[in-house]
Amino acid sequence: SHGYFTYDPGFMATASCRSEITYIDGDLGILLHRGYPIDQLAQDANYLEVCYLLLYGEAPTAKQYEEFHRNIMRHTMVHEQLSSFFKGYRRDAHPMAIVCGVIAGLSAFYHDPMDINDARHREIAAHRLVAKMPTIAAMAYKYSIGQPFVYPRNDLSYAGNFLQMMFAVPCEDYKVNPIVERAMDRIFTLHADHEQNASTSTVRLSGSSGANPFACIAAGIASLWGPAHGGANEACLMMLEEIGSVDRIPEYVEKAKDKDDPFRLMGFGHRVYKNFDPRATVMRDTCHEVLDDLKIQDPLLDVAMELERIALSDPYFVERKLYPNVDFYSGIILKAIGIPTSMFTVIFALARTVGWMSHWNEMISDPKQKIGRPRQLYTGAAQRDFKTQVEKK
């Protein structure tokens, strides 16, 4: 999987590396993880099974899964001293800023010598991050609302443990709602990996220099935060709330078409999918399931459905093949299960960590891989002689 970067005249960096992990066909709306279609994985696998598949290349046997599950759940606690990292942030800091900083800080935390050329060390790094991301994500949320951190519980599922660390308080019992737990696990699966997107390419490029993997994942988190990428789920829900009602949709659709207006319909369009994002289809079905099961009538879902209908019949969107993407429905589900908007992209980063680590591991384990070195099309001044205009004292 030799990495190489080429620039097209539009100066849009296209990073392409050979990989065996995920296959996307943007025209046919196909997404495969190690050959398995995403809709089948979302239906029949749980997130930790998908993590095993992405990291090791094959679906786990019952025995392999049991060992992997036990290993991950036994590493969900973080070092007590890590909690002091959070104290440097203002309480109103965005949880993505906190998570980005704390994950980068992990590179200073683990003093056991990390030899990234040793497959076992790489495996430990991947397990640590998959295990600890939910704990750190929940700590970022608890810190931002001034509540005490909640310790992980190994008797719960991966998704159930995350929910209890997010919502439990010391003064009362917390019961995981199985409907919410299943929806959370499916959201993790739908966000696990997505080929060479901006954040994964960031992890690969930063990792290609041999940098510490925790620092590389922090770089991926930073890239994911942008509203054009993972930040779109938070931006999409805020857009639906701003639209507020079905009768205001046409005004926003017109805004999105206006070249002079920077407004875009968040949750629509994709760099690769010029057909439906297969994750959006699963997400839409899950959205209806969760709202029905939880008996929630969310007017935002009506706005989302009507926006989808109008946008998909509007020539501007049809000609440009702008379909709902993974971020369009996820925010409505997350809101329905009680996740605060500020945590939407953190959940995306939590779920995508296994994808980033799978790509990082695939690249580092390739003996032929070299440091990434994007080239450019130079459009600056031709060579000329310099004459200072500053009088030197």
Positions that interact with ligand SDX (CB under 6 A):
194, 197, 228-230, 232, 256, 264-272, 320, 322, 325-327
* Position with the least CB separation from ligand SDX: 269
Q: Which of 69, 194, 270, 359 is catalytic?
A: 270
The DSSP bridge partners found for residue 5 are: 15
Long-range contacts of 243-251 (CB under 8 A, 24+ apart): 243/303, 243/307, 244/303, 245/299, 245/303, 246/302, 246/303, 246/306, 249/303, 249/306, 249/307, 249/310, 250/310
Q: How far is the CB of 259 from ligand SDX (least distance, A)?
A: 7
Burial class (CB in 10 A: 0-12, 13-18, 19+), 103: buried
Query: If you search the block for the tokens 């056991």, which residue do you land on?
Result: 112
131 vs 239 by CB, closer to ligand SDX = 239
DSSP 8-state code for residue 88:
T
105 vs 227 by CB, closer to ligand SDX = 227
Query: Looking at the chain, how many residues does it have?
Result: 393
Tell me whether residue 314 is one of the annotated catalytic residues.
Answer: no
- Calpha distance 350→265 (Å, rounded): 25
Q: Which residues of 162-182 are buried (b: 16+ CB within 10 A; e: fewer)?
A: bbbbbbbeeeeebebbeebbb
Q: Nearest 5 degrees, angle CA 379-CA 383-CA 387?
A: 125
Q: Are 337 and 180 contacting, i.e. CB atoms less than 8 angstroms apart?
A: yes
Q: How far is the CB of 200 from ligand SDX (least distance, A)?
A: 7
Tell me whether residue 39 is one of the annotated catalytic residues.
Answer: no
144 vs 206 by CB, closer to ligand SDX = 206
Q: How far is the CB of 197 from ligand SDX (least distance, A)?
A: 3
Q: How far is the CB of 26 from ligand SDX (least distance, A)?
A: 9
Supply 361's token pair.
């591991």
Strand order in the sheet with 36-37: 22-25, 30-33, 36-37
119 vs 228 by CB, closer to ligand SDX = 228
DSSP 8-state code for residue 58:
S
Q: Which of 94, 277, 327, 359 is catalytic?
A: 327
At 102 the three-state DSSP class reads helix
162 vs 268 by CB, closer to ligand SDX = 268
Q: How far is the CB of 263 from ligand SDX (least distance, A)?
A: 8
Q: How far is the CB of 267 from ligand SDX (least distance, A)?
A: 5
DSSP for 315-338, written as a single string: HHHHHTT--B-HHHHHHHHHHHTT
159 vs 322 by CB, closer to ligand SDX = 322
For the annotated catalytic residues, the residue numbers are 270, 327
